[in-house]
């Protein structure tokens, strides 16, 4: 099939690359000429394991091309995906300006029957919004149908998730439009859930908000565990063994971040308000998450006797491993708080340093992992990159001023850390 994907970010690019891998003729569109030039040259502007290699392969085989020309891409395609950002506004409401702009561009180019697919995470009613824009801009209603096809990708495993979806949700008004998507995704052998537009849009928000709720719940339990002497890892293991609950998303830590959970939780809260429902449960999910990192920092500050004059070493900056994304990364909160209180920050991350250094240029960034611990008063594990899990703790501690380790992701074994001479602290145990 002939496909256009408008937007080449964490959703659009993996989507376009995988569809090209399946043998479709895919045109990826981006307004930024420099970004398109980068992509056409075989370099991905985002870090996602395996993405760049597959992108180069599909480009070399002629299935994948890149352009800034939205109109030409639309005219050459049967299915057009809208995969641009919908960042939260100041009040948490999803900002639809990019979706609206793309819809206007698409409308001007429609000259044959196409299916327009909302792949971006959008509020309930966005399918109708796009349809109305297309009509208002003069597109012939007989030539287009609008479909909602929410993504369920996890950064760091986005390529695998696109290739191996556990379900494909399609919201449509007409069966023929849904059938087009079923045909497109057929080679992936995933179950399809065909719904109306509003239900498909709600599935995305409800799914991510529920997962965020599970994380906030176990983090709330971790606070009680710290106070009463229980171990949250054991609690989570016992809970997760119950098939009604399941073990996924019960890992206590510094809280959720990234581009999806914060935006979607805020988005669903705002959507609920617009329809007259005060989603108090979800508001508390948000509050627990906001407080989790600050609570951890308070424990560190208390142990050090304040941050003033202290050197704080961070292992990890990205919001999660295997991505360079720092949106709502907990490292940013930690750096900001430590520096405000007179502390010095040293940091290491395999990928995300270039992004964080633009926000905090006065952090000391190191290339060699062990150098981060030199003369540090405390070492904080922030992101559970695989290269951090097998570090020689004796070597790390040997060059520190104080051998104090705060494990924000429960990566290290307490007995091993203490054998290496560390005072060891983590989430959800005393």
| Catalytic machinery residues | 260
Q: Is residue 353 a contact partner of residue 346, using CB atoms and an 8 Å limit? A: no
Pairwise CA distance, residues 174 & 264, whole Å: 27
Beta bridge partner(s), residue 27 = 4, 65
Pairwise CA distance, residues 2 & 186, whole Å: 15
b/e burial code for range 206-219 (CB count within 10 A of at least 16 → b)? ebbbebbbbbbbbb
Cα angle: 172, vertex 178, 179; to 5 degrees: 160
Q: Is residue 32 a contact partner of residue 107, using CB atoms and an 8 Å limit? A: no
CB neighbour class for 136 (10 Å; exposed up to 12, middle 13-18, buried from 19): exposed
Alpha helices in 189-260 (DSSP H): 197-228, 232-240
Residues 6+ apart with CB under 8 A from 188: 22, 163, 164, 165, 168
Pairwise CA distance, residues 388 & 41, whole Å: 32
Roughly what angle, to the nearest 10 degrees, separates helices 126-136 and 97-109? Answer: 40
Dig out the tokens for 375 from the structure.
């003369």
Q: Is residue 240 a contact partner of residue 247, using CB atoms and an 8 Å limit? A: yes
């Amino acid at each position: 099939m002939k496909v256009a994907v408008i937007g080449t970010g964490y959703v659009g690019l993996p989507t376009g690359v995988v569809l090209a891998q399946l043998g479709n003729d895919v045109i990826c569109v981006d307004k930024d000429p420099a970004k398109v030039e980068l992509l056409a040259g075989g370099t991905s502007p985002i870090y996602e394991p395996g993405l760049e290699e597959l992108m180069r392969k599909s480009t070399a085989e002629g299935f994948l091309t890149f352009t800034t020309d939205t109109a030409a891409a639309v005219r050459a395609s049967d299915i057009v995906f809208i995969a641009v950002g919908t960042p939260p506004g100041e009040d948490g409401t999803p900002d639809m300006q990019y979706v609206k702009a793309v819809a206007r561009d698409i409308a001007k180019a429609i000259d044959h029957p196409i299916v327009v697919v909302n792949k971006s995470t959008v509020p309930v009613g966005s399918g109708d919004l796009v349809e109305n824009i297309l009509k208002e801009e003069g597109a012939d209603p007989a030539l287009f149908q609008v479909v909602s096809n929410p993504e369920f990708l996890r950064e760091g495993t986005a390529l695998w998730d696109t290739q191996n979806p556990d379900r494909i949700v399609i919201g449509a008004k007409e069966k023929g439009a849904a059938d087009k998507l079923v045909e497109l995704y057929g080679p992936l052998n995933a179950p399809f859930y065909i719904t109306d537009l509003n239900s498909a849009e709600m599935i995305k928000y409800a799914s991510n908000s529920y997962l965020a709720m599970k994380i906030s719940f176990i983090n709330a339990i971790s606070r009680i565990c710290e106070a009463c002497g229980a171990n949250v890892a054991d609690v989570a293991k016992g809970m997760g063994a119950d098939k009604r609950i399941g073990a996924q998303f019960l890992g206590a830590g510094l809280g959720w971040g990234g581009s999806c959970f914060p935006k979607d939780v805020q988005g669903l809260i705002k959507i609920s308000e617009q329809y007259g429902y005060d989603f108090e449960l979800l508001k508390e999910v948000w509050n627990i998450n906001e407080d989790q990192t600050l609570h951890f920092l308070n424990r560190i500050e208390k142990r050090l006797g304040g941050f003033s004059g202290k050197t704080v070493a961070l292992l990890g900056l990205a919001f999660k491993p295997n991505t360079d994304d720092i949106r709502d990364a907990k490292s940013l909160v930690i750096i900001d708080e430590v520096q405000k209180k007179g502390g010095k920050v040293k940091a290491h991350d395999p990928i995300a340093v270039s992004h964080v250094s633009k926000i905090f240029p006065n952090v000391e960034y190191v290339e060699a992992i062990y150098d981060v611990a030199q003369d540090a008063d405390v070492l904080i594990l922030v992101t559970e990159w695989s290269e951090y899990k097998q570090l020689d703790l004796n070597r790390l501690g040997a060059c520190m001023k104080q051998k104090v380790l705060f494990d924000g992701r429960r990566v290290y074994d307490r007995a091993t850390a203490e054998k290496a001479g560390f005072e060891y602290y983590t989430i959800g145990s005393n």
